[in-house]
Chain A
Amino acid sequence: EPEVTQTPSHQVTQMGQEVILRCVPISNHLYFYWYRQILGQKVEFLVSFYNNEISEKSEIFDDQFSVERPDGSNFTLKIRSTKLEDSAMYFCASRGTSGRVYEQYFGPGTRLTVT
């Protein structure tokens, strides 16, 4: 069964450094998402992406965040200058445009630790 994949599974970085989290959505899906989950808290929406542009973003998704689809398969989240409070599990999700259209499928996540 097709699935969303994410790399790396765990990333440790120092405050102020840039990180790029990578995702490969399910191959025929066209809507892509990033969510994050701070330890012990709810899963929170960050951004959605469709047709090579951001379609929706939350108040969390400020100027230090950016997303890109650099090629036909990858979808990336860049955090320009990491802060301690960016430490969280980051999930990528995708959904299709036909059949089970509104079902979002999540990847295994990248645990980001900012020290």
Chain B
Amino acid sequence: EDKVVQSPLSLVVHEGDTVTLNCSYEVTNFRSLLWYKQEKKAPTFLFMLTSSGIEKKSGRLSSILDKKELFSILNITATQTGDSAVYLCAVSRTSGSRLTFGEGTQLTVNP
């Protein structure tokens, strides 16, 4: 059974701080790892990673994958209150395309 574990489950920081969110996985025939941001409702797509060591970047957010150690990190620099959300990590296999999600990290950024 595929498994995705995120840590920490909850994180409270002040505006301007840098945060690192972790995601480790066990999946048969790994294809990709995806990060989503979930505010009130729908998960919003952030990144998809398929290759080790290649950083994906979008503004203050960046992510990298290590396929040897089976984990990914999501970094957010200079956090803002609008970054407050649950950040979800999910993996997919080469066979089929279902996503298996982790529990998420609840990030709270205080002013």
Asked if residues A42 and B103 are in contact (CB atoms below 8 Å), the reply is yes
Q: Which residues of A contact B31 (CB under 8 A)?
A: 102
List of A residues within 8 angstroms of B44 by Cβ: 106
CA A95 to CA B31, docked complex, whole Å: 15
Which of A43, A58, A95, A108 has a CB less than 8 Å from the CB of B97? A95
Q: Which of A48, A58, A100, A109 contacts B42 (CB 8 A)?
A: A109
Interface string of B10-44 (1 = CB under 8 A from A): 00000000000000000000011010100001111
> Secondary structure at chain A's binding surface: helix, strand, loop or mixed?
strand
Nearest CB of B to A103, in Å: 5
Say whether B42 contacts A44, CB under 8 Å.
no
| CB pair B98 A102 closer than 8 Å | no
Q: Could you list which residues of chain B lie within 8 angstroms of chain A, going by C-beta atoms?
A: 31-32, 34, 36, 41-45, 48, 50, 88, 90, 92, 96-104
Residues of A within 8 A of B (CB): 4, 31, 33, 35, 42-45, 48, 55-56, 58, 89, 91, 95, 100, 102-109
